[in-house]
Structure 1
Amino acid sequence: MRADILGLERRRRWSLDEKARLVAETLAPGASVSEVARRHDLAPSLLFAWRRLARVRASEPHPVFLPVQVTAEPAAAKPSPARRRRRKATGSIEIDLGSGRRLTVGADVDAAALARVLDVLERR
């Protein structure tokens, strides 16, 4: 099998500046996308795709940088054990009570309160 190179590659590379210039040309009053595409020897669909990308980029919020002043933070003393907050547990516990009844409680439920509730439910 033999392959011959018949000519130059047809695909062209367009810089962002060139794309922006061509899109701006299509947005001029009275301009036709097809006419601009014909003048620059490219497919109108390509110009429409570039216009769509330009609209998307224009609607994206631009990052805003704010001035920041970094200062040394005073060393914080460790809180006393009485002042430490209990870490909130995540998740839940599902208890099957039988006869199709289920009880779902948070993982941070008070164990004594849960025992009282289960005791009442067992008597029923």
Structure 2
Amino acid sequence: MRIVEESFGGRGRVAETARRHDIGRTLLVRWRRQYREGRLMTGSKACLQFTPLAIAAPDEPEGHDGPFPPVPTPATAQVQMADITLVNGRRLSVAATIDPMVLARLVQALDPS
């Protein structure tokens, strides 16, 4: 809310504010529209939304018959991926170790609803 309110200072303030806070100008414009429409709220006024999540078990590697997954070696190590289907139907595959802040910005850019 503070960033949006800061951007209402006059001509050129959107780009300047976005640059200062290291966010995309289009994201700030979207926030400003939501602010004007009364849809951008914080604190106790915020409307929490939950999205259904399904986690699938990984495929068993061939030749593995033990109860625990095999220990990866540098030659067999793979980055664990998370597949996310957004509300708008877009699919996103990211490394399971992605920084949560980066993921949040990415999801916001792909599904601003």
Q: Same fold (TM over 0.5)?
A: no
Q: Who wins on radius of gyration, i.e. which is larger?
A: 1
TM-score, normalised to structure 1, is 0.29
Q: TM-score, normalised by structure 2?
A: 0.31
Higher RCO (C-alpha under 8 Å, 6+ residues apart) = 2
